[in-house]
Structure 1
Protein backbone atom coordinates (compact mmCIF):
# COMPACT_ATOMS: atom_id res chain seq x y z
CA UNK A 1 0.00 0.00 0.00
CA UNK A 2 2.87 2.37 0.69
CA UNK A 3 3.57 3.21 -3.00
CA UNK A 4 0.16 4.87 -3.05
CA UNK A 5 0.26 6.63 0.31
CA UNK A 6 3.94 7.38 0.97
CA UNK A 7 6.40 9.48 -0.98
CA UNK A 8 9.87 8.60 0.35
CA UNK A 9 11.73 11.84 -0.31
CA UNK A 10 14.71 10.30 1.45
CA UNK A 11 15.30 6.67 2.45
CA UNK A 12 18.65 5.46 3.76
CA UNK A 13 19.82 1.96 4.78
CA UNK A 14 20.24 2.71 8.50
CA UNK A 15 18.40 5.91 9.46
CA UNK A 16 18.60 7.33 12.95
CA UNK A 17 15.04 8.58 12.58
CA UNK A 18 12.18 8.82 10.10
CA UNK A 19 9.98 11.92 9.86
CA UNK A 20 6.58 11.46 8.19
CA UNK A 21 4.80 14.66 7.12
CA UNK A 22 1.06 15.15 6.58
CA UNK A 23 -0.01 18.00 4.24
CA UNK A 24 -2.74 20.59 4.78
CA UNK A 25 -6.12 20.71 3.02
CA UNK A 26 -5.50 20.97 -0.70
CA UNK A 27 -1.85 20.08 -0.15
CA UNK A 28 0.19 17.20 -1.49
CA UNK A 29 3.34 15.27 -0.68
CA UNK A 30 5.46 17.54 -2.87
CA UNK A 31 4.97 20.38 -0.37
CA UNK A 32 7.59 18.67 1.81
CA UNK A 33 9.98 17.49 -0.92
CA UNK A 34 12.69 20.10 -0.30
CA UNK A 35 12.70 19.49 3.46
CA UNK A 36 15.20 16.69 2.84
CA UNK A 37 17.80 19.32 1.88
CA UNK A 38 17.58 20.75 5.41
CA UNK A 39 17.61 17.51 7.40
CA UNK A 40 20.68 15.59 8.61
CA UNK A 41 21.75 12.78 6.29
CA UNK A 42 20.67 10.12 8.79
CA UNK A 43 17.06 11.36 9.01
CA UNK A 44 14.69 9.86 6.45
CA UNK A 45 11.84 11.99 5.09
CA UNK A 46 8.44 10.57 4.16
CA UNK A 47 5.38 12.51 3.02
CA UNK A 48 1.80 11.33 2.84
CA UNK A 49 0.05 11.49 -0.52
CA UNK A 50 -3.71 11.71 -0.15
CA UNK A 51 -6.07 10.31 -2.81
CA UNK A 52 -7.07 12.73 -5.55
CA UNK A 53 -3.87 14.72 -6.01
CA UNK A 54 -0.71 14.63 -8.10
CA UNK A 55 -0.03 11.02 -9.14
CA UNK A 56 -3.23 9.92 -7.35
CA UNK A 57 -5.34 12.44 -9.26
CA UNK A 58 -7.50 9.75 -10.89
CA UNK A 59 -8.68 8.54 -7.47
CA UNK A 60 -11.68 10.05 -5.74
CA UNK A 61 -10.58 12.25 -2.82
CA UNK A 62 -11.51 11.00 0.64
CA UNK A 63 -14.35 12.74 2.44
CA UNK A 64 -13.85 11.24 5.90
CA UNK A 65 -10.80 11.54 8.11
CA UNK A 66 -11.13 7.95 9.35
CA UNK A 67 -10.54 6.65 5.82
CA UNK A 68 -7.39 8.73 5.46
CA UNK A 69 -6.10 7.68 8.88
CA UNK A 70 -6.62 3.97 8.16
CA UNK A 71 -4.73 4.24 4.88
CA UNK A 72 -1.90 6.31 6.36
CA UNK A 73 -1.44 4.07 9.41
CA UNK A 74 -1.39 0.90 7.32
CA UNK A 75 1.19 2.36 4.94
CA UNK A 76 3.44 3.74 7.70
CA UNK A 77 3.68 0.38 9.45
CA UNK A 78 6.10 -0.61 6.68
CA UNK A 79 8.50 2.10 7.91
CA UNK A 80 8.57 1.38 11.63
CA UNK A 81 11.89 -0.47 11.60
CA UNK A 82 13.43 2.91 12.60
CA UNK A 83 12.17 5.47 15.16
CA UNK A 84 9.23 7.31 13.63
CA UNK A 85 8.00 10.86 14.25
CA UNK A 86 4.94 12.46 12.69
CA UNK A 87 4.38 16.08 11.65
CA UNK A 88 1.04 17.41 10.39
CA UNK A 89 -0.09 20.90 9.36
CA UNK A 90 -3.72 22.08 9.59
CA UNK A 91 -5.88 19.18 8.33
CA UNK A 92 -2.67 17.15 8.43
CA UNK A 93 -2.39 17.74 12.19
CA UNK A 94 -5.73 16.07 12.90
CA UNK A 95 -4.84 13.28 10.48
CA UNK A 96 -1.41 12.76 12.04
CA UNK A 97 -3.03 12.47 15.47
CA UNK A 98 -5.58 9.91 14.28
CA UNK A 99 -2.82 8.01 12.50
CA UNK A 100 -0.74 8.05 15.70
CA UNK A 101 -3.67 6.57 17.64
CA UNK A 102 -3.93 3.72 15.15
CA UNK A 103 -0.20 3.07 15.09
CA UNK A 104 0.03 2.97 18.88
CA UNK A 105 -2.98 0.64 19.01
CA UNK A 106 -1.08 -1.64 16.63
CA UNK A 107 1.89 -1.70 19.01
CA UNK A 108 4.08 0.88 17.27
CA UNK A 109 6.13 3.14 19.56
CA UNK A 110 6.26 6.63 18.11
CA UNK A 111 9.09 9.02 18.87
CA UNK A 112 7.10 12.27 18.67
CA UNK A 113 3.97 13.87 17.24
CA UNK A 114 4.11 17.48 16.01
CA UNK A 115 0.76 19.14 15.28
CA UNK A 116 0.68 22.50 13.52
CA UNK A 117 -2.05 25.12 13.07
CA UNK A 118 -5.04 23.10 14.23
CA UNK A 119 -7.31 22.93 17.28
CA UNK A 120 -7.18 19.88 19.53
CA UNK A 121 -9.46 17.08 18.26
CA UNK A 122 -12.06 17.57 20.99
CA UNK A 123 -12.13 21.31 20.25
CA UNK A 124 -13.02 20.97 16.55
CA UNK A 125 -15.16 23.82 15.26
CA UNK A 126 -17.08 21.89 12.60
CA UNK A 127 -18.59 23.76 9.66
CA UNK A 128 -20.67 23.43 6.54
CA UNK A 129 -18.66 25.20 3.86
CA UNK A 130 -18.03 21.90 2.08
CA UNK A 131 -21.74 21.65 1.29
CA UNK A 132 -22.26 25.30 0.41
CA UNK A 133 -21.88 27.31 -2.76
CA UNK A 134 -18.62 27.83 -4.59
CA UNK A 135 -18.35 31.52 -3.77
CA UNK A 136 -18.41 30.95 0.00
CA UNK A 137 -15.81 28.19 -0.23
CA UNK A 138 -13.51 30.29 -2.40
CA UNK A 139 -13.86 33.24 -0.01
CA UNK A 140 -12.74 31.10 2.91
CA UNK A 141 -9.79 29.66 0.99
CA UNK A 142 -8.66 33.16 0.04
CA UNK A 143 -9.15 34.40 3.59
CA UNK A 144 -6.77 31.77 4.91
CA UNK A 145 -4.16 32.48 2.23
CA UNK A 146 -3.93 28.87 1.07
CA UNK A 147 -3.99 27.63 -2.53
CA UNK A 148 -6.03 30.59 -3.77
CA UNK A 149 -3.62 31.33 -6.65
CA UNK A 150 -4.53 28.00 -8.22
CA UNK A 151 -8.20 28.91 -8.14
CA UNK A 152 -8.06 32.20 -10.06
CA UNK A 153 -7.88 30.37 -13.41
CA UNK A 154 -11.23 28.81 -14.35
CA UNK A 155 -9.72 25.60 -15.75
CA UNK A 156 -7.48 25.04 -12.74
CA UNK A 157 -10.37 25.86 -10.43
CA UNK A 158 -12.47 23.14 -12.05
CA UNK A 159 -9.69 20.66 -11.32
CA UNK A 160 -8.75 21.67 -7.78
CA UNK A 161 -11.96 22.90 -6.20
CA UNK A 162 -13.48 19.39 -5.85
CA UNK A 163 -10.34 18.28 -3.99
CA UNK A 164 -10.53 21.27 -1.65
CA UNK A 165 -14.25 20.74 -1.10
CA UNK A 166 -13.57 17.10 -0.15
CA UNK A 167 -10.79 18.18 2.23
CA UNK A 168 -13.12 20.72 3.84
CA UNK A 169 -15.65 17.92 4.31
CA UNK A 170 -12.96 15.76 5.92
CA UNK A 171 -12.14 18.33 8.56
CA UNK A 172 -15.58 19.89 9.03
CA UNK A 173 -17.14 16.51 9.77
CA UNK A 174 -14.28 15.21 11.94
CA UNK A 175 -15.18 14.96 15.58
CA UNK A 176 -13.71 13.28 18.64
CA UNK A 177 -15.88 14.08 21.65
CA UNK A 178 -13.35 12.89 24.23
CA UNK A 179 -9.57 13.20 23.90
CA UNK A 180 -7.45 10.06 23.87
CA UNK A 181 -3.97 10.54 25.32
CA UNK A 182 -1.07 9.23 23.25
CA UNK A 183 1.98 7.56 24.75
CA UNK A 184 4.34 9.62 22.58
CA UNK A 185 5.57 13.15 23.17
CA UNK A 186 3.51 15.89 21.54
CA UNK A 187 4.39 19.43 20.44
CA UNK A 188 2.02 22.10 19.14
CA UNK A 189 3.22 24.63 16.55
CA UNK A 190 1.23 27.78 15.82
CA UNK A 191 1.53 31.00 13.85
CA UNK A 192 1.36 34.10 16.05
CA UNK A 193 -1.35 35.60 13.83
CA UNK A 194 -3.27 32.41 13.07
CA UNK A 195 -6.96 33.31 13.27
CA UNK A 196 -8.02 29.69 12.69
CA UNK A 197 -6.76 28.47 16.08
CA UNK A 198 -7.20 30.22 19.41
CA UNK A 199 -4.68 29.90 22.21
CA UNK A 200 -7.20 27.86 24.21
CA UNK A 201 -7.77 25.49 21.27
CA UNK A 202 -4.04 25.04 20.84
CA UNK A 203 -3.38 24.45 24.55
CA UNK A 204 -6.19 21.88 24.62
CA UNK A 205 -3.80 19.48 22.87
CA UNK A 206 -2.33 18.89 26.35
CA UNK A 207 -5.22 16.45 26.90
CA UNK A 208 -3.98 14.31 24.00
CA UNK A 209 -0.65 13.13 25.39
CA UNK A 210 0.42 11.47 28.62
CA UNK A 211 3.41 13.85 28.69
CA UNK A 212 3.54 17.62 29.19
CA UNK A 213 2.86 19.33 25.86
CA UNK A 214 4.99 22.13 24.47
CA UNK A 215 3.46 25.01 22.47
CA UNK A 216 5.83 26.82 20.11
CA UNK A 217 4.80 29.96 18.21
CA UNK A 218 6.25 31.25 14.95
CA UNK A 219 5.84 34.56 13.10
CA UNK A 220 3.00 34.53 10.59
CA UNK A 221 -0.56 33.39 10.10
CA UNK A 222 -2.20 30.07 9.35
CA UNK A 223 0.30 29.25 6.60
CA UNK A 224 3.35 30.43 8.53
CA UNK A 225 4.96 27.11 7.59
CA UNK A 226 5.98 28.33 4.13
CA UNK A 227 7.92 31.38 5.34
CA UNK A 228 9.23 29.77 8.52
CA UNK A 229 10.23 26.39 7.10
CA UNK A 230 13.84 26.54 8.25
CA UNK A 231 12.89 27.63 11.77
CA UNK A 232 10.27 24.87 11.95
CA UNK A 233 12.74 22.19 10.86
CA UNK A 234 15.29 23.50 13.37
CA UNK A 235 12.66 23.25 16.11
CA UNK A 236 11.72 19.69 15.13
CA UNK A 237 15.33 18.55 15.12
CA UNK A 238 16.03 20.20 18.46
CA UNK A 239 13.01 18.56 20.07
CA UNK A 240 13.83 15.19 18.56
CA UNK A 241 17.40 15.38 19.80
CA UNK A 242 16.47 15.85 23.44
CA UNK A 243 15.95 12.91 25.76
CA UNK A 244 13.95 14.99 28.20
CA UNK A 245 10.19 15.21 28.28
CA UNK A 246 9.07 18.59 26.94
CA UNK A 247 7.99 21.21 29.41
CA UNK A 248 4.81 23.18 28.79
CA UNK A 249 5.54 26.45 27.03
CA UNK A 250 3.08 29.21 26.20
CA UNK A 251 5.38 31.63 24.41
Structure 2
Protein backbone atom coordinates (compact mmCIF):
# COMPACT_ATOMS: atom_id res chain seq x y z
CA UNK A 1 0.00 0.00 0.00
CA UNK A 2 1.25 3.48 -0.85
CA UNK A 3 -0.67 6.50 0.38
CA UNK A 4 0.37 9.86 1.72
CA UNK A 5 0.36 8.42 5.23
CA UNK A 6 1.55 4.84 4.70
CA UNK A 7 4.23 3.53 2.38
CA UNK A 8 5.05 -0.12 1.84
CA UNK A 9 8.36 -0.01 -0.05
CA UNK A 10 8.54 -3.81 -0.40
CA UNK A 11 4.99 -5.22 -0.65
CA UNK A 12 4.62 -8.75 0.66
CA UNK A 13 1.09 -10.11 0.08
CA UNK A 14 2.07 -13.38 1.78
CA UNK A 15 3.11 -11.61 4.97
CA UNK A 16 1.32 -12.72 8.11
CA UNK A 17 2.36 -9.69 10.19
CA UNK A 18 2.74 -6.01 9.34
CA UNK A 19 5.37 -3.92 11.12
CA UNK A 20 4.30 -0.27 11.37
CA UNK A 21 7.36 1.97 11.89
CA UNK A 22 7.07 5.40 13.55
CA UNK A 23 10.18 7.65 13.34
CA UNK A 24 11.54 9.99 16.00
CA UNK A 25 10.94 13.76 16.21
CA UNK A 26 12.19 15.35 13.00
CA UNK A 27 12.84 11.93 11.51
CA UNK A 28 11.64 10.68 8.15
CA UNK A 29 10.45 7.13 7.43
CA UNK A 30 13.58 6.65 5.32
CA UNK A 31 15.48 5.76 8.51
CA UNK A 32 13.82 2.34 8.26
CA UNK A 33 14.82 1.62 4.64
CA UNK A 34 17.85 -0.49 5.74
CA UNK A 35 15.39 -2.82 7.50
CA UNK A 36 13.60 -3.92 4.33
CA UNK A 37 15.78 -6.90 3.41
CA UNK A 38 16.81 -7.91 6.93
CA UNK A 39 13.58 -8.94 8.67
CA UNK A 40 11.86 -12.36 8.66
CA UNK A 41 10.10 -13.27 5.41
CA UNK A 42 6.63 -13.25 7.00
CA UNK A 43 6.91 -9.52 7.88
CA UNK A 44 5.73 -6.61 5.74
CA UNK A 45 7.11 -3.20 6.73
CA UNK A 46 4.75 -0.23 6.61
CA UNK A 47 6.40 3.17 7.02
CA UNK A 48 4.36 5.89 8.69
CA UNK A 49 4.91 9.20 6.88
CA UNK A 50 3.39 12.15 8.71
CA UNK A 51 3.07 15.58 7.07
CA UNK A 52 6.12 17.82 6.91
CA UNK A 53 8.64 15.14 5.91
CA UNK A 54 9.55 12.83 3.06
CA UNK A 55 7.07 12.93 0.20
CA UNK A 56 4.83 15.14 2.39
CA UNK A 57 7.51 17.77 3.00
CA UNK A 58 5.41 20.69 1.82
CA UNK A 59 2.38 19.86 4.00
CA UNK A 60 2.01 21.68 7.34
CA UNK A 61 3.18 19.37 10.14
CA UNK A 62 0.90 18.36 12.98
CA UNK A 63 1.81 20.10 16.25
CA UNK A 64 -0.65 18.23 18.52
CA UNK A 65 -0.79 14.50 19.20
CA UNK A 66 -4.55 14.34 18.66
CA UNK A 67 -4.09 15.59 15.09
CA UNK A 68 -1.69 12.75 14.32
CA UNK A 69 -4.03 10.19 15.84
CA UNK A 70 -7.05 11.55 14.01
CA UNK A 71 -5.25 11.12 10.69
CA UNK A 72 -4.06 7.62 11.59
CA UNK A 73 -7.51 6.53 12.76
CA UNK A 74 -8.97 7.43 9.38
CA UNK A 75 -7.06 4.33 8.23
CA UNK A 76 -7.86 2.10 11.20
CA UNK A 77 -9.32 -0.60 8.94
CA UNK A 78 -6.00 -0.89 7.13
CA UNK A 79 -4.00 -0.81 10.38
CA UNK A 80 -6.07 -3.69 11.82
CA UNK A 81 -6.46 -5.63 8.56
CA UNK A 82 -3.69 -8.08 9.51
CA UNK A 83 -1.95 -8.89 12.78
CA UNK A 84 0.55 -6.09 13.29
CA UNK A 85 3.40 -4.82 15.45
CA UNK A 86 4.10 -1.16 16.23
CA UNK A 87 7.73 -0.01 16.41
CA UNK A 88 8.44 3.57 17.43
CA UNK A 89 11.63 5.39 18.32
CA UNK A 90 11.56 8.23 20.87
CA UNK A 91 8.51 10.39 20.01
CA UNK A 92 7.48 7.62 17.59
CA UNK A 93 7.02 5.29 20.57
CA UNK A 94 4.57 7.69 22.14
CA UNK A 95 2.67 8.10 18.88
CA UNK A 96 2.47 4.30 18.65
CA UNK A 97 1.15 4.00 22.21
CA UNK A 98 -1.47 6.73 21.73
CA UNK A 99 -2.63 5.01 18.54
CA UNK A 100 -2.95 1.69 20.37
CA UNK A 101 -4.83 3.39 23.21
CA UNK A 102 -7.22 4.99 20.70
CA UNK A 103 -7.75 1.68 18.88
CA UNK A 104 -8.65 0.12 22.22
CA UNK A 105 -11.18 2.87 22.99
CA UNK A 106 -12.71 2.33 19.54
CA UNK A 107 -13.01 -1.44 20.18
CA UNK A 108 -10.56 -2.13 17.36
CA UNK A 109 -8.02 -4.96 17.23
CA UNK A 110 -4.77 -4.11 19.00
CA UNK A 111 -1.27 -4.91 17.72
CA UNK A 112 0.11 -8.26 18.80
CA UNK A 113 3.21 -6.46 20.13
CA UNK A 114 4.61 -2.96 20.54
CA UNK A 115 8.30 -2.08 20.64
CA UNK A 116 9.00 1.25 22.38
CA UNK A 117 12.52 2.43 21.60
CA UNK A 118 14.40 5.24 23.39
CA UNK A 119 11.37 6.74 25.07
CA UNK A 120 10.09 7.53 28.52
CA UNK A 121 6.69 6.07 29.28
CA UNK A 122 4.23 8.51 27.67
CA UNK A 123 2.13 9.16 30.76
CA UNK A 124 5.15 10.78 32.42
CA UNK A 125 5.90 14.47 31.95
CA UNK A 126 9.14 15.42 30.28
CA UNK A 127 11.83 16.38 32.79
CA UNK A 128 13.68 18.49 30.23
CA UNK A 129 13.37 22.17 29.38
CA UNK A 130 10.84 22.64 26.54
CA UNK A 131 12.60 23.34 23.26
CA UNK A 132 9.93 24.07 20.68
CA UNK A 133 9.43 27.76 21.53
CA UNK A 134 13.12 28.72 21.82
CA UNK A 135 14.47 31.49 19.57
CA UNK A 136 15.78 30.18 16.26
CA UNK A 137 19.52 30.13 16.98
CA UNK A 138 19.06 28.70 20.48
CA UNK A 139 16.72 26.04 19.09
CA UNK A 140 19.30 25.08 16.44
CA UNK A 141 22.01 24.95 19.12
CA UNK A 142 19.88 22.50 21.14
CA UNK A 143 19.27 20.39 18.02
CA UNK A 144 23.03 20.20 17.47
CA UNK A 145 23.52 19.03 21.07
CA UNK A 146 20.86 16.33 20.69
CA UNK A 147 22.80 14.93 17.72
CA UNK A 148 19.74 13.57 15.91
CA UNK A 149 19.51 16.09 13.06
CA UNK A 150 21.99 15.50 10.20
CA UNK A 151 24.88 17.95 10.25
CA UNK A 152 24.37 18.79 6.57
CA UNK A 153 20.93 20.14 7.47
CA UNK A 154 22.10 22.01 10.57
CA UNK A 155 24.89 23.65 8.57
CA UNK A 156 22.64 24.75 5.70
CA UNK A 157 20.58 27.86 6.47
CA UNK A 158 18.11 27.27 3.63
CA UNK A 159 17.50 23.65 4.65
CA UNK A 160 17.05 24.69 8.27
CA UNK A 161 14.46 27.27 7.25
CA UNK A 162 12.64 24.46 5.41
CA UNK A 163 12.78 21.98 8.28
CA UNK A 164 12.32 24.30 11.27
CA UNK A 165 8.49 24.22 11.18
CA UNK A 166 8.55 20.39 11.26
CA UNK A 167 11.13 20.27 14.04
CA UNK A 168 9.28 22.81 16.18
CA UNK A 169 5.97 20.98 15.65
CA UNK A 170 7.46 17.60 16.57
CA UNK A 171 9.17 19.01 19.65
CA UNK A 172 5.96 20.72 20.73
CA UNK A 173 4.28 17.32 20.79
CA UNK A 174 7.30 15.74 22.49
CA UNK A 175 7.40 18.47 25.13
CA UNK A 176 3.67 18.78 25.83
CA UNK A 177 1.89 15.46 25.18
CA UNK A 178 0.89 13.27 28.14
CA UNK A 179 -0.88 9.93 27.74
CA UNK A 180 -3.67 8.54 29.86
CA UNK A 181 -2.02 5.97 32.20
CA UNK A 182 -4.13 3.06 31.00
CA UNK A 183 -2.70 -0.49 31.01
CA UNK A 184 -3.49 -2.12 27.67
CA UNK A 185 -3.75 -5.86 26.91
CA UNK A 186 -0.72 -5.33 24.69
CA UNK A 187 2.76 -6.85 25.16
CA UNK A 188 5.42 -4.12 25.12
CA UNK A 189 9.17 -4.48 24.64
CA UNK A 190 11.39 -1.51 25.55
CA UNK A 191 14.68 -0.72 23.79
CA UNK A 192 17.15 1.69 25.39
CA UNK A 193 20.71 2.95 25.01
CA UNK A 194 23.13 2.55 27.90
CA UNK A 195 24.47 6.05 27.20
CA UNK A 196 21.10 7.73 26.66
CA UNK A 197 21.13 10.60 29.15
CA UNK A 198 17.61 11.64 28.12
CA UNK A 199 15.81 8.55 29.48
CA UNK A 200 16.18 7.37 33.08
CA UNK A 201 15.63 3.83 34.29
CA UNK A 202 12.52 4.97 36.20
CA UNK A 203 11.11 6.49 33.00
CA UNK A 204 11.73 3.19 31.17
CA UNK A 205 10.36 1.05 33.98
CA UNK A 206 7.14 3.09 33.95
CA UNK A 207 6.14 1.43 30.66
CA UNK A 208 5.03 -1.46 32.87
CA UNK A 209 2.10 0.71 34.01
CA UNK A 210 0.82 0.72 30.41
CA UNK A 211 0.73 -3.03 29.75
CA UNK A 212 -1.05 -5.91 31.42
CA UNK A 213 1.86 -8.15 30.28
CA UNK A 214 5.38 -8.21 31.75
CA UNK A 215 7.42 -5.59 29.88
CA UNK A 216 10.75 -6.81 28.50
CA UNK A 217 13.70 -4.38 28.27
CA UNK A 218 16.62 -4.68 25.82
CA UNK A 219 19.84 -2.63 26.15
CA UNK A 220 22.10 -1.28 23.38
CA UNK A 221 25.57 0.22 23.81
CA UNK A 222 24.69 3.60 22.36
CA UNK A 223 23.11 6.97 23.05
CA UNK A 224 19.59 8.18 22.28
CA UNK A 225 20.03 7.58 18.55
CA UNK A 226 21.35 4.02 18.72
CA UNK A 227 18.70 3.20 16.09
CA UNK A 228 21.04 4.91 13.60
CA UNK A 229 24.48 4.06 14.97
CA UNK A 230 23.66 0.43 15.85
CA UNK A 231 21.05 -0.27 13.18
CA UNK A 232 22.21 -3.83 12.50
CA UNK A 233 21.92 -4.73 16.20
CA UNK A 234 18.48 -3.12 16.42
CA UNK A 235 17.31 -4.96 13.29
CA UNK A 236 18.63 -8.25 14.68
CA UNK A 237 16.75 -7.79 17.96
CA UNK A 238 13.55 -6.77 16.18
CA UNK A 239 13.93 -9.84 13.94
CA UNK A 240 14.27 -12.10 16.99
CA UNK A 241 11.12 -10.62 18.54
CA UNK A 242 9.13 -10.89 15.32
CA UNK A 243 10.32 -14.44 14.65
CA UNK A 244 8.92 -15.49 18.02
CA UNK A 245 5.40 -14.26 17.27
Bin of the TM-score, shorter chain as denominator length:
over 0.9
Report the equivalent of 1:101. Answer: 101
Stretch moving more, 116-125 or 87-96: 116-125
Q: Structure 1 pair 111/164, CA: closer, same or farther in 2 (3 Å)?
A: same
The CA distance in 2 between the partners of 1:36 and 1:153, in whole Å, is 30
In the alignment, structure 1 residue 159 sits paired with structure 2 residue 162: yes
| Contact 1:23/1:91 (8 A) holds in 2 | yes
Report the equivalent of 2:33. Answer: 33
Of 226, 229, 233, which residue of structure 2 is paired with 1:227?
A: 229
Report the equivalent of 1:190. Answer: 192
| Contact 2:144/2:154 (8 A) holds in 1 | no
| Contact 2:100/2:110 (8 A) holds in 1 | no
Report the equivalent of 2:45. Answer: 45
| Contact 2:86/2:114 (8 A) holds in 1 | yes
Q: Structure 1 pair 41/239, CA: closer, same or farther in 2 (3 Å)?
A: closer
Map 1:82-121; keep pairs closer than 5 Å: 82-106=82-106, 107-121=108-122
Report the equivalent of 1:170. Answer: 173
| Contact 2:23/2:31 (8 A) holds in 1 | yes
Q: Secondary structure at the match of 2:239?
A: helix
Report the equivalent of 1:122. Answer: 123
The CA distance in 2 between the partners of 1:41 and 1:110, in whole Å, is 19
Q: Secondary structure at the match of 2:115?
A: strand
Stretch moving more, 5-14 or 87-96: 5-14
Q: Which runs of 5+ in 1 are unaligned?
A: 244-251
User: RMSD of the TM alignment (CA)?
Assistant: 1.8
Q: Secondary structure at the match of 2:9?
A: strand
The CA distance in 2 between the partners of 1:111 and 1:5, in whole Å, is 21
Q: Secondary structure at the match of 1:38?
A: coil
| Contact 2:94/2:122 (8 A) holds in 1 | yes
Of 144, 147, 168, which residue of structure 2 is paired with 1:145?
A: 147
In the alignment, structure 1 residue 77 sits paired with structure 2 residue 80: no
| C-alpha deviation, 1:134, in angstroms | 1.4
The CA distance in 1 between the partners of 2:169 and 2:79, in whole Å, is 28
The CA distance in 2 between the partners of 1:73 and 1:38, in whole Å, is 29
The TM-score, its normalising length taken from structure 1, stands at: 0.90
| Contact 1:5/1:49 (8 A) holds in 2 | yes
Q: Structure 1 pair 37/122, CA: closer, same or farther in 2 (3 Å)?
A: same
| Contact 2:40/2:242 (8 A) holds in 1 | no
Q: Which runs of 5+ in 2 are unaligned?
A: none
Q: How many residues align?
A: 242
